[in-house]
Amino acid sequence: MRTLIRNAQCTLPDGTRQTDVLIENSSILDVAASTATQADEVIDAAGLTLLPGVIDDQVHFRDPGLTHKEDLHTGSLACAKGGVTTFLEMPNTNPATISRAALIDKLKLAAGKCVVNYGFYMGATPDNIGELQQQDRTPGIKIFIGSSTGNLLVDEQAALERIFAETTLPICAHCEDEATVRANSEQLGGGHSYADHSRIRDHRAAVIATQRAVDLALRHAHRFHVLHVSTADELPILTDHGGLLTAEACPHHLLFNIEDYDKLGSLVQMNPSIKTAVDNAALWRALTDGRIQVIATDHAPHTLEEKQRPYPQSPSGLPAVENSLALMLNAVHQDRCTLEQVVRWMCDAPARVWDIVNKGRIAPGYDADLVLVDLRRRHTIRNRDQVTKCGWSPWDGVALTGLPVRTWVMGQTVFVDGKLDSAIRGQEAQFDHARGGYWATECRS
Ligand code: DOR
């Protein structure tokens, strides 16, 4: 099967230009102005822009165990609608992904119900080092250095030292310092308002844990990715990377701050907490100057009923995978960044950080994971339109310019004309860790 996408503006590794893209089965065969090419299907994409599919390296899809909030099918449909063609999912499911057997079970589950491509992290516990040493078929190891949803936590120094010393897979971590969070919580009597969440999980908690994790990574010369950086204060820690460190920011930490609790309450209660407008601006600058390389969502669905509980019973987390690309296209429309930067942060960099084979670029030989976007299309995010099982978005009512209109996963159209094809199946992403990560591969400036 050959599909020819004609006349789109294509974001290619060497710049954006109008060209044709020829897909053969699941791969990109050619990128060239090739009007005479024979194809089974020809799509005229004039006026639209073709991007590599987004790779979201941090989502929580709740399957197995918490499937009243989301499952691998609904989470993957939300991806397809949002232009996300590959997701990497976190281990805090029930059971948690802390053994080879649990990883294989999740991969099997995903093969049966995911409409986009998938990969699953191995979760660290204080005593599962043997499991962490054996793993292939995974992007890497996730450590909750601070606790969040679920009960995965490793905050004892000896256990952390062992994980960094005795494993080779890349490591990423949720960095909020447990002791600081506990002390702040006690001081505030457990917290009484949603806004207290940012006082309990404060700047200090983030900085202490990020510094601690980065020290471990540098001492053990271990590749390390700092998940969801939320403060300006962590940024100086990220500059001395020595080729080992990468970092990411999430749309909610770029776009929301503590002023939003008044209107949105627990809908913006997240771990790490949202911070201040000063932090928003600093995170944007860090993306622009390359101290942060990746944008990922930390898509963390909970039902509205759960979210409406009083603080601190309200769970932390918000859904975003369905809207992250549109939010960033809107940022392009507002001149906050360029389209090429968005592609770099959301498509190219995650593929390099996690050594994902043949993804993240529009180039011959790469997988045909693609998203066609209309940069001029105006639309409003509405709870009623959300396909995530939790059925809401913290951006409900927000008007944006720029929308994904068609998504291909391994050459198959999974989303077009506002409709999802739930029969499509994605594939297990392949990780080639011998590549050595983001800094070991050429990266475009
Ligand atoms: O707010 C959060 N919720 N942060 C996390 O890191 C985990 C997530 C969840 O799984 O609910």
pLDDT tens for each residue of 313-341: 999 999 999 999 999 999 999 999 999 99
Ligand 1 pocket mutation pick from 67, 89, 143, 148 by most atoms within 8 angstroms of CB: 148
Q: Tokens in use for 85?
A: 């063609």
Give whole-number Cα distances, 146 to 1, 53, 118, 176, 308, in Å.
Answer: 48, 31, 25, 5, 24
Give the single-character DSSP code of 161. H
pLDDT of residue 443: 55
Q: Within 6 Å (CB) of ligand 1, which residues are found?
A: 60, 92, 148-149, 174, 270-271, 298, 300, 316-317
Q: Are 248 and 293 in contact (CB under 8 A)?
A: yes
| H or E segment and range at residue 243 | none
Atom of ligand 1 nearest to the CA of 174: 6
For residues 364-376, average pLDDT: 98
Place of tokens 């001029």: 376
Distance of CA 85 to the CA centre of its chain: 11
For the chain, give the mean pLDDT. Answer: 95
pLDDT higher than threshold 80 for residue 36: no
Name which residue sits closest to atom 10 of ligand 1, judged by CA.
Answer: 149
- Residue with the smallest CA separation from ligand 1 atom 3 is 317
Long-range Cβ contact pairs of 154-163 (< 8 A, separation 24 or more) = 154/124, 154/125, 154/126, 155/179, 156/126, 159/126, 159/127, 160/212, 160/213, 160/216, 161/216, 161/220, 162/129, 163/124, 163/129, 163/132
The Å distance, Cα 300 to ligand 1 centre, comes to 5
The model's pTM: 0.97
pLDDT in tens, 45-103: 999 999 999 999 999 999 999 999 999 999 999 999 999 999 999 999 999 999 999 99
Cα of 317 vs centre of ligand 1, distance in Å, is 5
* Residue of 88, 198, 270 to mutate, ligand 1, most atoms within 8 A of C-beta: 270
Mutate-to-test residue for ligand 1 from 57, 58, 60, highest number of ligand atoms within 8 A of CB: 60
374-432: pLDDT as tens digits: 999 999 999 999 999 999 999 999 999 999 999 999 999 999 999 999 999 999 999 99
Mean pLDDT computed over 96-122: 98
Q: Which of 87, 89, 92 to mutate to test the pocket of ligand 1 (most atoms within 8 A of CB)?
A: 92
Distance of alpha carbon 345 from the chain centroid: 10
**Would you state the pLDDT for residue 113?**
98
- Say how many Å lie between the CA of residue 348 and the centre of ligand 1: 25
- Distance in angstroms (rounded) separating the CA atoms of residues 41 and 5: 8
| pLDDT for residue 328 | 98
Class of domain 67-359: alpha beta
**427 alpha-carbon distance from chain centroid:** 18
Which residue of the set 298, 348, 369, 374 is catalytic?
Answer: 298
* pLDDT above 70 coverage of the chain, percent: 98
Report how far residue 14's alpha carbon sits from residue 50's, in angstroms, rounded to the nearest whole number. 14
Rounded to the nearest angstrom, the distance between the alpha carbon of 33 and the centre of ligand 1 is 45
CA of 22 to the centre of ligand 1 (A): 39
Work out which ligand 1 atom sits closest to the CA atom of 227: 6
The Cα–Cα gap between 342 and 234 comes to 22
Confidence of residue 445 (pLDDT cuts 50, 70, 90): very low
For the residues 251-260, what does the mean pLDDT come to?
98
Distance 58 CA to ligand 1 centre (A): 10
Q: Which has more pLDDT, 38 or 339?
A: 339
CB atoms within 10 A of CB 216: 21
Check whether 35 has a pLDDT greater than 70.
no
Residue 37 has pLDDT above 80, yes or no: no
At 442 the pLDDT is 58
Is position 279 annotated as part of the catalytic site? no
334 against 34, higher pLDDT: 334
* pLDDT category of residue 444 using cuts at 50, 70 and 90: very low
CA distance 195 to 262: 8
Query: Are 14 and 3 contacting, i.e. CB atoms less than 8 angstroms apart?
Result: no
pLDDT of 321: 98
Position 330 scores a pLDDT of 98
Strand partners, 22: 4, 30
pLDDT band at 155 (very low <50, low <70, confident <90, very high): confident
pLDDT in tens, 170-218: 999 999 999 999 999 999 999 999 999 999 999 999 999 999 999 999 9
Q: Which atom of ligand 1 is nearest to the CA of 315?
A: 11
**What is the CA(192)–ligand 1 centre distance, in A?**
20
